[in-house]
Structures are given as structure tokens and as C-alpha cells.
């Protein structure tokens, strides 16, 4: 089982500005000026010495993750703007004459999690089947209303693929696309749901747009049970703890510190921080990652918890 | 977790000793409560001496946040002082260093709150 991240930014897509690009270039050139003259052969090796915030980017697409297994049916988590490049890759791989089946699991139907669907090319390919699984009864209404006039030039009925909606129940176990699947209610405006997927002795939890109230012990215990012994938890770490429990309390998101504490209590192997704050640039996200790794280190008792920050394009083998 | 109090001029210094984690956050909150009531505009400025705090987790930080909110509503003065290196790092990662008044020493905190 493998996770492939197509969109990792929270709330709204963002893009780098000219100032951001210039800052990266400047840092890279200053670094190059301190070493030997670069050649065509040595330049890649030099780039590899630069920090991720200088040599790369966490990206700006909103929520979309793919679970890749050897099952022929595809599994996608949320359809934020990252669904556009995902759809393009599917079209490039399968063309229009090899019909595919896509299973989409929705955390919730806020705009940043559905906005990629009108640009998801497999929906425009005849013969494809797209099944959108959710625990929200209004999931079909949410998807339909972003198509057609006055919001979009293509009516939902014009989509060439077969699009189905499947409302599931939290707490119940399902077998879908070769995965054992279960959902859990999370604290978020209009509710959100975390998803747990298991296959071949591996488990991954997708838990985004979820606030964790520190005074709700029973609720926290339930989350720990849902995360238990997962190989990876994709976790909404949008805010600092100070913000999450003060000025941004009840905004429906969590923090890096609570992510470490919950994952440690649950015996999780990897914490993948996700749904990054859109106001943060690459250096700030990298700073949060480094601080979180340090927090994990100074609070470690027993097994080490690996801490990552997801980025658009990250492939993570479980 | 232990809480010791000492008057310093018009300020009250509460020395906190031990870990403030899931096992001790409720005790910390209860021990702090009566002192917070007196921390008003015309009441007693409060300095939390953290030199004896080994570690503070999210639930402990939540108690500090609630204390700061209550004191602010009462127009009182509250500060945290003398963080151990580990707790200082936790404050940095959680950004509590940006929302609470934090001083390097108890003397500096008392001076700032009573000036």
C-alpha cells in the first residue's frame, strides 16, 4: 500500500509568488557562491544539498490523496484542487479507451475538498465509473450544485462518466476496492469524518479537518482507538496549539502538538502533517516540521514516532 | 504536581513543581483557581515560577490559556517565569511564548508586573 499526495494545503489553494521564487533563487545562488564553480554534472548534487524550502515546495493544491494498491480499482481521498493533476495523470496513463473505476472517500463536502471535481478529467471520460463514498447525506447535493450555471459551464448531467453516490455509516466496517474501510465522526463545522483503511496487515488513517477538544477526554480516547497502531496517520495540523485553543477555537482544525500526543498514545508509526496553513510559505512549513520533530524527540517515551509534512507529489510507501 | 506560594511585594509568586500532563493538569487547574480569583485590576499580580516544571503537555498548556483568559477579563496581571529549557521549547513549538507574558526570571516578572 502506498499514499500519493496530490493536494496538501488547507482551506484554499495557494501558489508561489514572484517574491517567493526570487527568495529561493537568491538563497540557492548565495549557497552556490560559497562553493566551487558548478558544472552541468555537479549542479544536481548541489541542489540536493539545499533545504527543501529552497530547492522544492510543499505545493499549494487543496486536499487530495490517493491510496495505491495492487487492486485495479482506484482509491482517492477528497477531491480538492489536487484532483486536477491526479485526473491528468490518470488520463495520461489509461487514455480514454480503458475504462477505470474510482472510489472517492470524502472527509466532508466543504468547498476546498470538492472544488477539484469539475476539473477531474476521468469524470469526462465515457465508460469510467466514479463512486463517491461519504457519511454526509447531502453529498450528492454538494457535488451537483457546483456544476452548471452560474458556477460552471458544464452541467452535472453532461459528465460522461457514471457518477454514483454512496452514503456510508460511521462505525461500520466495509470492504471496498480491496480495503477494509471504516469512518469516524470528527469535530468540524457541518461534521467531518476520518477514514481508516486496512489491507495486508497495514493500516492508514486519513483524519483531516478535525478539531480535538482537550477537555473532551472520552472523545480523545475514541480518536486514539481509531488511530490505534496505524502505519500512518494523515493529520490536520493546520494551527499552532496556542491558536487552536484560543483565537481559532471552534474553527475545526488541530495542531502539530496534539497530533504528536494522539499518535503517540495510539502507537502510530508515522504522523503525516497535512492541511497546511495557506498563509505559510515553504520556510514556515519546514520550520513547523523541524519544531514538531524536536517536540517528538523531547517528549519521547519508548518508540519513536516518525514525523513528516505532506507535500504535493509526495509518495509514501507503508 | 505541587504549588507553593510566596508574597513578593504586592505580587504573589506561585512556584509550580513537577510535570503538568494528563495526570496532573486537573490538580494544577484546581490549585490555581483560588489565586486567579484574586488576580484583578486592583488585586494581586500573579507570577507562575516554572523553574521546577519538568514538562508541560497540551492539557497543561490549556490550563494556562484558560488562566490567562480569566485574568485578562478581570483586568489582572499574569506572567510565567523561569522556564526550564524543555518547557521553553514546548512554549516555542506551541507558540505559547507569543500569547503569554514570559520572563527569564521571577525577579524580572515581578518587576514588570508591579512597575
pLDDT tens digits, one per residue of A164-179: 999 999 999 999 999 9
Q: To the nearest whole percent, how much of chain A has pLDDT over 70?
A: 100
Are residues B93 and A215, on separate chains, in Cβ contact within 8 Å?
no
Are residues A295 and B89, on separate chains, in Cβ contact within 8 Å?
yes
The answer to whether B70 faces chain A, any CB pair under 8 Å, is: no
Angle between helices A282-298 and B85-94 (to 10 degrees): 140
Express each pLDDT in A249-295 by its tens digit.
Answer: 999 999 999 999 999 999 999 999 999 999 999 999 999 999 999 99
The answer to whether A309 touches A275, Cβ cutoff 8 Å, is: no
Provide mean pLDDT across the span A91-96.
96
Residues on A contacting B at a C-beta cutoff of 8 Å: 214-215, 240-243, 245-246, 255-258, 261, 291-292, 294-295, 298-299
| Alpha-carbon span A175 to B1, nearest angstrom | 48
Q: B101 in helix, strand or coil?
A: coil
Distance to chain A for B90, nearest Cα, Å: 7
Q: Which of A214, A246, A291 sits opposite B93 (nearest CB)?
A: A291
ipTM of predicted complex: 0.92
The answer to whether B16 touches B81, Cβ cutoff 8 Å, is: no
pLDDT number for residue A35:
87
The answer to whether B73 faces chain A, any CB pair under 8 Å, is: no
pLDDT number for residue A2:
97
Are residues A257 and B89, on separate chains, in Cβ contact within 8 Å?
no
| Alpha-carbon span A193 to A173, nearest angstrom | 14
pTM score of the predicted model:
0.96
The answer to whether A79 touches A110, Cβ cutoff 8 Å, is: no
Are residues B95 and A240, on separate chains, in Cβ contact within 8 Å?
yes
Residue A256 CA: distances (Å) to CA of A102, A275, B99? 31, 11, 17
Give the mean pLDDT of chain A.
Answer: 97
The answer to whether B67 faces chain A, any CB pair under 8 Å, is: no
pLDDT number for residue A158:
97
Express each pLDDT in A179-204 by its tens digit.
Answer: 999 999 999 999 999 999 999 999 99
Spell out the SS3 assignment of chain A.
CEEEEEECECCCCCCCCHHHHHHHHHHHHHHHHCCCCCCCCCHHHHHHHCCHHHHCCCCCCECEEEEECCCCCEEEECCCCCHHHHHHHHHHHHCCCCCCEEEEECCCCCHHHHCCHHHCHHHHCCCCEEEEEECCCCHHHHHHHCCCCCCCCCCHHHCCCEEEEEECCCCCCEEECCEEEEEEEEECCCCEEEEEEEECCEEEEEECCCECCCCCHHHHHHHHHHHCCCCEEEEECCECHHHHCCCCCCCCCCEHHHHHHHHHHHCCCEEEEECECCCCCHHHHHHHHHHHHHHHHHCCCCCCCEEEECCCCCEEEC
Contacts within 8 Å (CB) and 24+ apart, A159-162: A159/A123, A159/A124, A160/A123, A160/A124, A160/A125, A160/A126, A160/A128, A161/A122, A161/A123, A161/A124, A161/A125, A161/A126, A161/A127, A161/A128, A161/A129, A161/A130, A162/A128, A162/A129, A162/A130
Express each pLDDT in B23-66 by its tens digit.
Answer: 999 999 999 999 999 999 999 999 999 999 999 999 999 999 99
Residues of A in contact with B59 (CB under 8 A): 214
Amino acid at each position: 500500500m502506498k499514499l500519493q499526495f496530490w493536494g496538501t494545503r488547507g482551506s484554499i489553494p495557494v501558489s508561489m509568488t514572484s517574491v517567493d521564487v526570487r527568495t529561493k533563487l537568491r538563497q540557492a545562488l548565495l549557497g552556490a557562491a560559497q562553493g566551487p564553480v558548478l558544472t552541468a554534472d555537479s549542479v544536481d548534487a548541489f541542489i540536493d544539498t539545499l533545504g527543501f524550502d529552497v530547492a522544492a515546495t510543499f505545493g499549494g493544491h487543496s486536499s487530495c490523496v490517493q491510496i495505491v494498491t495492487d487492486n485495479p480499482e482506484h482509491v482517492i481521498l477528497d477531491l480538492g484542487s489536487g484532483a486536477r493533476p491526479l485526473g491528468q495523470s490518470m488520463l495520461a496513463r489509461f487514455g480514454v479507451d480503458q475504462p477505470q473505476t474510482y472510489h472517492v472517500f470524502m472527509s466532508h463536502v466543504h468547498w476546498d475538498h470538492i472544488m477539484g471535481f469539475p476539473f477531474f478529467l476521468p469524470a469526462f471520460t465515457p465508460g469510467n465509473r466514479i463512486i463517491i463514498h461519504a457519511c454526509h447525506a447531502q453529498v450528492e447535493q454538494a457535488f451537483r450544485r457546483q456544476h452548471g450555471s452560474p458556477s460552471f459551464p458544464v452541467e452535472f448531467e453532461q459528465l460522461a462518466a457514471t457518477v454514483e453516490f454512496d452514503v456510508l455509516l460511521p462505525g461500520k466496517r466495509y470492504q471496498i476496492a480491496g480495503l477494509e474501510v471504516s469512518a469516524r465522526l470528527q469535530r468540524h463545522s457541518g461534521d467531518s469524518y476520518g477514514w481508516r483503511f486496512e489491507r495486508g496487515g497495514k493500516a492508514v488513517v486519513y483524519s483531516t479537518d478535525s478539531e480535538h477538544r482537550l477537555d473532551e477526554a472520552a472523545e480523545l480516547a475514541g480518536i486514539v482507538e481509531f488511530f490505534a497502531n496505524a502505519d500512518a496517520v494523515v493529520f490536520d495540523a493546520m494551527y499552532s496549539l496556542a491558536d487552536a485553543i484560543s483565537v481559532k477555537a471552534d474553527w475545526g482544525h488541530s495542531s502539530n502538538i496534539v497530533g504528536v500526543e494522539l499518535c503517540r498514545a495510539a502507537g502510530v508509526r508515522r504522523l503525516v502533517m497535512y492541511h497546511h496553513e495557506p498563509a505559510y510559505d515553504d520556510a514556515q512549513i519546514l520550520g513547523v516540521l523541524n519544531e514538531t520533530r524536536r517536540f517528538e524527540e523531547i517528549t519521547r517515551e519508548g518508540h519513536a514516532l516518525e514525523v513528516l509534512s505532506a507535500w504535493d507529489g509526495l509518495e509514501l510507501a507503508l | 504536581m505541587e504549588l507553593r506560594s510566596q508574597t513578593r511585594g504586592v505580587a504573589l509568586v506561585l512556584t509550580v513543581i513537577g510535570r503538568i500532563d494528563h495526570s496532573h493538569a486537573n490538580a494544577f487547574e484546581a490549585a490555581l483557581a483560588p489565586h486567579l480569583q484574586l488576580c484583578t485590576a486592583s488585586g494581586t499580580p500573579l507570577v507562575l515560577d516554572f523553574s521546577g516544571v519538568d514538562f508541560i503537555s497540551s492539557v497543561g498548556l490549556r490550563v494556562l490559556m484558560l488562566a490567562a483568559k480569566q485574568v485578562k477579563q478581570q483586568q489582572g496581571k499574569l506572567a510565567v517565569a523561569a522556564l526550564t529549557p524543555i518547557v521553553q521549547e514546548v512554549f516555542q513549538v506551541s507558540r505559547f511564548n507569543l500569547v503569554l507574558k514570559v520572563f527569564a526570571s521571577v525577579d524580572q516578572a515581578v518587576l514588570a508586573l508591579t512597575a
